[in-house]
């Protein structure tokens, strides 16, 4: 998507920039999982879809016309990459990144095959 507003503490993004969001939009930032940079295990994480923000409003994921996201869960999308081309990277790409990193395939020059079903 495109950044349309930023909070006063946002430093990583500017209005008008192309950005992407994975499956988490927030976390507690203080538990062991958050401190260990594995926020996906935070018991208070806020999913991009089918969850509720701290103010009680529902998250709607890709079906939302706008969304509020903690800047730590947002990534820059290069201007020369269309948002339509970037979308699969935020779904399938996020899904395979952790196992690739875990098994040592995240370094340049390594090769592996990925098969998607469904």
Domain assignment present for 38: no
Parent domain of 11? 2-22+49-103
Instruction: Please report whether residue 86 resides in a domain.
Output: yes
In a domain, 14, yes or no: yes
Residue 13: both structure tokens together: 């993004």
Is 41 inside any structural domain?
Answer: no
The reply to whether 28 falls in a domain is: no
Average pLDDT, the chain: 88
Residues 6+ apart with CB under 8 A from 14: 3, 6
Q: Is residue 37 part of a domain?
A: no
Q: Which letter, b or e, does each residue of 35-62 get, where b requires 16 or more Cβ atoms within 10 Å of its Cβ?
A: eeeebeebeebbebeebeeeeeeebeee
Tell me the per-residue pLDDT of 14-68, one tens digit each, with 9 for 90 and over: 999 999 988 899 999 999 999 998 998 999 999 998 999 989 999 988 778 888 9
- Tell me if 29 is assigned to some domain: no
Overall domain count for the chain: 1
């Amino acid at each position: 998507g495109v950044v349309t507003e930023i909070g006063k503490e946002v430093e990583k993004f500017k209005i008008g920039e192309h950005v992407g969001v994975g499956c988490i939009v927030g976390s507690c930032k203080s538990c062991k999982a958050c401190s260990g940079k594995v926020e996906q295990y935070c018991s208070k994480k806020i999913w991009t879809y089918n969850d509720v923000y701290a103010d009680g409003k529902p998250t709607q994921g890709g079906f939302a016309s706008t969304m509020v996201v903690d800047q730590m869960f947002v990534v820059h999308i290069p201007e020369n990459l269309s948002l339509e081309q970037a979308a699969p990277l935020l779904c399938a790409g996020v899904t395979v990144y952790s196992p690739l990193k875990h098994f040592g395939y995240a370094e340049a020059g390594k090769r592996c095959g990925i098969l998607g079903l469904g």
